């Protein structure tokens, strides 16, 4: 688990990574996804407390394996037609109802007659699990990304200046291997494969008869890949005493599964109507630090492979960071930073709608308070003016009634004009009564109704 701490400049024009903390989950490989998420939340809280970190807003990337990615080719349209077309394709391509997923997309322009669309969906219940994990650590999610998308954003500055047209980014992590094929700075294909670093550890544990922790330690300290070793190589030929050689043999033989998965993925991409041969593979992830991996995969894939430096041409300020130890493992972290500051294309965000509404309400809270105060002042002044006019009217009305009442100093007898005035006064009293009722209703309901309406539109159900 990797936690990065940094800051964004004014208006997102710059970003700085000040520290990166890495902590082992120490979970058994048979742990369920729920157990992994729960353990990760506890570790994040522990890291924050240990290092005295007070930041609450967090950008987070869910594993690529929990996302559904589809590459679409659609006619060149725009506006509402484009949105409707993407929604239609999503219903056809995503194996879940749209109401059960969080969907986002990015449209790449092309030189041809069609648009290239990267469509990504994550199930809402999965996102809710990760948001709950962050809340348990006292954090508020500001952005939810996917590791594969962040990987592309990390390398985008390098891809822009690359001489090769088609490049594959391969991030070999502990639990998955993320593969992103890029063509002319566009995403062409994305896949997450299950074969990864844990597969190698499990193989060493079984072949050497040691527990998981010891196998992991042997992989890190003695691990090396030799392209001359294949499935027919006999590890017993190296003798019981040569532990390093035996680890190399078992590791090289086990790595065949990862190499085959990468090769199948690239072959599948090339077989597509728009597919083209991959010209270079950039390797990242913790497992990419294994000595000999570039030569090993170059031979197995018949494609030039190299271990990438994620900080090469990065847009992120890392002057306070010792980059060497994490130059292959912090790709997702760098990609998330560059999404906020650079011209990287993939700016998708999979925040749940209730969090988005709450964030919008938080932004508007001050203005709502000011508007409420101004409205209260306006109502107060208006009511005062109306009451003053009513008082003047009542005084004039009383004076007129006194003149029309016999024996009260009035005219004594009502002529036709007096009768008309009397009828007018009766109607006026009726209107006054109605006005008083409406005024009372407006006084009790007007401001309150508007406030309730504003809050109901901005505060998600169940939030206060």
From first to last of its 464 residues, the chain has per-residue pLDDT tens of: 455 544 444 334 556 777 777 777 777 767 777 888 888 888 888 888 888 888 788 888 999 999 999 999 999 998 999 999 999 999 999 999 999 999 999 998 888 888 999 999 999 999 999 998 888 888 888 889 999 999 999 999 888 887 778 999 999 988 899 999 998 788 999 999 999 999 999 999 998 889 988 998 999 898 899 988 877 776 666 656 678 888 998 999 999 999 999 999 999 999 998 889 999 999 999 899 999 999 999 999 999 999 998 888 776 777 666 666 676 778 888 888 888 776 788 889 999 988 888 877 777 777 777 777 887 787 777 777 767 767 766 766 676 666 656 554 444 444 565 666 666 667 677 767 766 766 666 665 555 555 555 555 555 544 44
Residues 412 and 433 reside in one and the same domain: yes
* Same domain, residue pair 334 and 314: yes
How large is the angle between the packed helices 197-208 and 212-222, nearest 10 degrees?
110
Give CA torsion, residues 418, 424, 426, 432, to 10 deg: -140
Number of domains in the chain: 2
Domain check: are 412 and 286 in the same one? no
- Residues 352, 369, single domain; the answer is no
pLDDT at 260: 95
251 occurs within a structural domain: yes
Domain check: are 185 and 73 in the same one?
yes
Confirm whether 273 is domain-assigned. yes
Assess if residue 463 is contained within a domain.
Answer: no
CA 371, CA 376: separation in Å to the nearest integer? 9
Q: 207 and 74, same structural domain?
A: yes
Q: Tell me which of 332, 357, 382 is where a domain ends.
A: 357
| 393 and 310 belong to one structural domain | no
- Please report the pLDDT score of residue 235 as a whole number: 63
Domain that holds residue 444: 364-458
Would 207 be classed as within a structural domain? yes
Domain boundary among 357, 384, 410: 357
Residue 11's pLDDT is 36
Q: Evaluate whether residue 464 is within a structural domain.
A: no
Of 357, 384, 405, the one marking the end of a domain is 357
Both 410 and 439 in one domain: the answer is yes
38 is a domain residue = yes
In the prediction, which pLDDT does 239 show? 55
The pLDDT score that the predictor gives to residue 418 is 60
Q: Are residues 209 and 342 in the same domain?
A: yes
CATH of the domain at 314: 3.30.420.40
Q: Please check whether residue 302 lies inside any domain of the structure.
A: yes
- Pair 328, 404 in one domain: no
Residues 229 and 248 grouped into a single domain: yes
In three state form, how does the secondary structure of the chain look? CEEEEEEECHHHCCEEEEEEEECCCCCCCCCCHHHHHHHHHHHHHHHHHHCCCCCCEEEEEECHHHEEEEEEEEECCCHHHHHHHHHHHHHHHCCCCHHHEEEEEEEECCCCCEEEEEEEEEEHHHHHHHHHHHHHCCCEEEEEEEHHHHHHHHHHHHHHCCCCCEEEEEEECCCCEEEEEEECCEEEEEEEECCCHHHHHHHHHHHHCCCHHHHHHHHHHHCCCCCCCCCCCCHHHHCCCCHHHHHHHHHHHHHHHHHHHHHHHHHHHHHCCCCCCCCEEEEECHHHHCCCHHHHHHHHHCCCEEECCCCCCCCCECCCCCCHHHCCCCHHHHHHHHHHHCCCCCCCCCCCHHHHHHHHHHHHHHHHHHHHHHHHHHHHHHHHHHHHHHHHHHHHHHHHHHHHCCCCCCCCCCCHHHHHHHHHHHHHHHHHHHHHHHHHHHHHHHHHHHHHHHHHHHCCCCCC
Residue 242: the pLDDT is: 77
Considering the domain architecture, whether residues 276 and 419 belong to the same structural domain is answered as no
pTM: 0.76
């Amino acid at each position: 688990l990797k936690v990065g701490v940094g800051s964004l400049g004014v208006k997102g024009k710059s970003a700085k990574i000040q520290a990166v903390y890495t902590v082992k989950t120490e979970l058994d490989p048979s742990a369920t996804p729920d157990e992994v998420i729960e353990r990760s939340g506890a570790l994040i809280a522990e890291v924050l407390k240990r290092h005295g970190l007070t930041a609450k807003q967090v950008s987070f990337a869910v594993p690529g394996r929990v996302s559904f990615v589809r590459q679409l080719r659609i006619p060149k349209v725009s506006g509402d037609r484009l949105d409707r077309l993407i929604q239609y394709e999503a219903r056809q391509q995503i194996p879940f109802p749209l109401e059960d997923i969080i969907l986002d997309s990015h449209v790449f322009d092309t030189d041809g007659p069609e648009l290239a669309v990267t469509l990504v969906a994550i199930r809402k219940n999965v996102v809710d699990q990760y948001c709950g994990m962050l809340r348990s650590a006292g954090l508020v999610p500001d952005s939810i990304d996917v590791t594969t998308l962040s990987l592309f954003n990390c390398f985008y500055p390098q891809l822009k200046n690359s001489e090769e047209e088609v490049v594959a980014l391969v991030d070999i992590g502990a639990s998955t291997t993320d593969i992103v094929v890029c063509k002319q700075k566009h995403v062409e294909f994305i896949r997450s494969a299950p074969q990864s670093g844990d597969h190698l550890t499990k193989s060493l544990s079984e072949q050497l008869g040691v527990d998981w922790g010891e196998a992991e330690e042997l992989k890190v300290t003695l691990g090396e890949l030799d392209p001359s070793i294949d499935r027919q190589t006999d590890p017993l030929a190296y003798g019981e005493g040569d532990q390093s050689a035996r680890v190399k043999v078992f590791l090289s033989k086990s790595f065949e599964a990862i190499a085959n998965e990468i090769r199948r993925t690239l072959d599948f991409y090339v077989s597509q109507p728009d597919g083209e041969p991959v010209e270079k593979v950039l390797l990242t992830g913790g497992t990419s630090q294994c000595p000999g991996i570039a030569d090993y995969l170059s031979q197995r894939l018949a494609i030039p492979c190299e271990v990438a430096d994620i900080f090469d041409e990065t847009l992120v300020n890392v002057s306070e960071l010792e980059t060497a130890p994490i130059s292959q493992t912090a790709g997702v972290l760098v990609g998330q930073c560059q999404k906020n500051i650079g011209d990287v294309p993939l700016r998708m965000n999979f925040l749940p709608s209730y969090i988005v509404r709450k964030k919008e309400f938080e932004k508007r809270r001050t203005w709502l308070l000011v508007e409420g105060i101004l409205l209260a002042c306006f109502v107060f002044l208006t009511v005062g003016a109306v009451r003053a006019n009513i008082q003047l009217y009542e005084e004039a009305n009383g004076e007129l009634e006194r003149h029309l009442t016999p024996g009260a100093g009035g005219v004594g007898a009502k002529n036709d004009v007096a009768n008309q005035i009397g009828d007018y006064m009766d109607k006026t009293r009726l209107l006054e009564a109605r006005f008083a009722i409406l005024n009372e209703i407006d006084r009790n309901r007007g401001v309150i109704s508007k406030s309730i309406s504003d809050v109901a539109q901005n505060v998600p159900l169940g939030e206060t």
